[in-house]
Chains A and B, each alone.
Chain A
Amino acid sequence: MNNHKSACLVLIMLVVGMLYGVNELRNATNSARDITAQVQTEAETGEQQAQLAQIQLKSLESKTADLRTAYSQWQPHFANYRSAQDAEQRIAEVIREGDVFLISQKFETKEIEKGALISDALVADLVVEDDYAKTLNWLGRLEEAIPSCRIARCNIKRGDRGNDIHLELKIQIPVLR
């Protein structure tokens, strides 16, 4: 091989080297382009999902607005009774304030619905005998004083004396723990 041919060989090798280098750079560029396109797709999808989540949030907010407003108004009444003792004490206060003649009272804590938000309640069995108007007014005040209470049973009969009535009540007061 003479010098010219050696020089040609060197040039060919340099050409091959340059082509290889350019090709590598092209591949790297293509790879960067593909990655960018993929990330762009992910970003656009992510933005669409974020928009969808925002729409769903607004929809959920508007759908449940009334319910949540009612909840915010009623929740404090339920939150007042964190234990059966709180509820029992409140009933005792209402009886004392009403000044009605209490014949008997019985309190027990009962499971209303397992796993539900309101799972336990204080159940009060009260027997009251007093003047008709006074007793019914007291019953109204009881329901007003404990808005979260549920009167499960209300039995009214004539009392032993003239204008008296005999009132048997079964009251449930939800206890939120």
Chain B
Amino acid sequence: MDNIIHDLKTERQNVSEGLPAGYKLVPVAFYIISIATVFLCLFFYLSKKAYESTETVMRERLTQAQSQQSGFVAQQNAISAESKKAEGIAKWLEGSRPLQPVTVAVGRSMGKDSTVAELSLDRNPEIPAHTFMQLKIDGGGSQQLEHTLSAINALDYQTYSAQQVKGRNSTDFQATLIYTDR
């Protein structure tokens, strides 16, 4: 212990009394702490550098993830916008099915003794997919009407709210036609 303590002073005669026994721990503690400080500083410095390095990597991952997410969200928005337009067009097309096949089917369904006196097809302004049909057939009677409705059904149209009025030699029929995708 004396040798360790004496390391701190040059070779000379003591001009004062030695330290009390308790005070001798101070230089010992100094040596221990000095050594520990070197190791701890090295440890903490390396740890700090490692954390900073990891942080840089994580920030790059975060930036990349955010960039990817932005790209995906942008694509989602583009698809949503396109889908919205597509829905608008699909809605329009749903109410725009060609009516010429119906007129032709009605005309071709007429038998020898029957003729179409009048055929009117009006789309419902609120629900254009619903077409209100008014048909007046001269001659033929119920059988002719059934034949005509079968021809319309063959085009995948269903008749709803059908009403039929029979005259002396004519039949008035009206119904709502709705296309049914089979």
Cβ contact within 8 Å between A154 and B48: no
Least CB distance, A18 to chain B, in whole angstroms: 4
A11-B82 in contact given A46-B66, A56-B76 (Cβ < 8 Å) = no
Cross-chain contact of B37 among A18, A28, A57 (Cβ < 8 A): A18
- A64 near B89: Cβ-Cβ < 8 Å: no
- Is A103 part of the binding interface, using a Cβ–Cβ cutoff of 8 Å? no
- Size class of the A contact interface (CB-based, 8 Å): 35 or more
Interface mask (B82-94 → A, CB under 8 Å = 1, otherwise 0): 1111111110110
Contact A53 B55, CB 8 Å, known A4-B19, A28-B44, A74-B89: no
Judge whether B141 is part of the interface by a CB distance below 8 angstroms. Answer: no
Q: Is the CB of A78 within 8 A of B89?
A: yes
Closest CB in chain B relative to A132 CB, distance in Å: 7
Q: Known contacts being A29-B48, A49-B65, is A67 close to B87, with CB within 8 Å?
A: yes
In the complex, which residues of chain A have a beta carbon less than 8 angstroms from the beta carbon of B99? 139, 143, 151, 154
Contact of A50 with B by CB under 8 A: yes
Beta-carbon contacts under 8 Å, A13-65 to B: 14-15, 18-19, 21-22, 25-26, 28-29, 32-33, 35-36, 39-40, 42-43, 46-47, 49-50, 53-54, 56-57, 60-61, 64
Cβ-based interface call for A96 (8 A): no
Interface of chain A, helix or strand or loop or mixed? helix
Q: Are A156 and B92 in contact (CB under 8 A)?
A: no
In the complex, A168→B9 CA distance in Å?
A: 123
Q: A68 and B17 in contact (CB under 8 A), knowing A11-B30, A155-B120, A157-B118?
A: no
CA distance A31 to B28 in the complex (A): 32
CB distance from B167 to the nearest CB of A (A): 16
Q: Does A85 contact B (CB under 8 A)?
A: no
Question: Taking the nearest CB of chain A, how far is it from the CB of B58, in angstroms?
Answer: 4
A-chain residues with CB within 8 Å of residue B122 when the two chains form the complex: 152-154
**B34 partner residues in chain A, CB cutoff 8 A:** 18
Would you give the shortest CB distance from A25 to chain B, in whole angstroms?
4
- Nearest-neighbor residue (CB-CB) of A58 within chain B: B72
Q: State whether B68 touches A43 (Cβ < 8 A).
A: no
Do B88 and A18 have beta carbons less than 8 Å apart? no
* A and B contact pairs by CB, cutoff 8 A, 27 listed: A4-B19, A8-B26, A11-B27, A25-B41, A25-B45, A28-B48, A43-B58, A46-B62, A46-B65, A46-B66, A46-B69, A47-B65, A49-B65, A56-B72, A56-B76, A57-B75, A61-B79, A70-B89, A116-B88, A117-B89, A118-B92, A136-B100, A144-B98, A149-B96, A151-B96, A151-B121, A154-B99
Which A residues fall within an 8 A CB radius of B?
A: 2-5, 7-8, 11-12, 14-15, 18-19, 21-22, 25-26, 28-29, 32-33, 35-36, 39-40, 42-43, 46-47, 49-50, 53-54, 56-57, 60-61, 64, 67-68, 70-71, 74-75, 78, 116-118, 132, 136, 139-140, 142-144, 148-158, 174
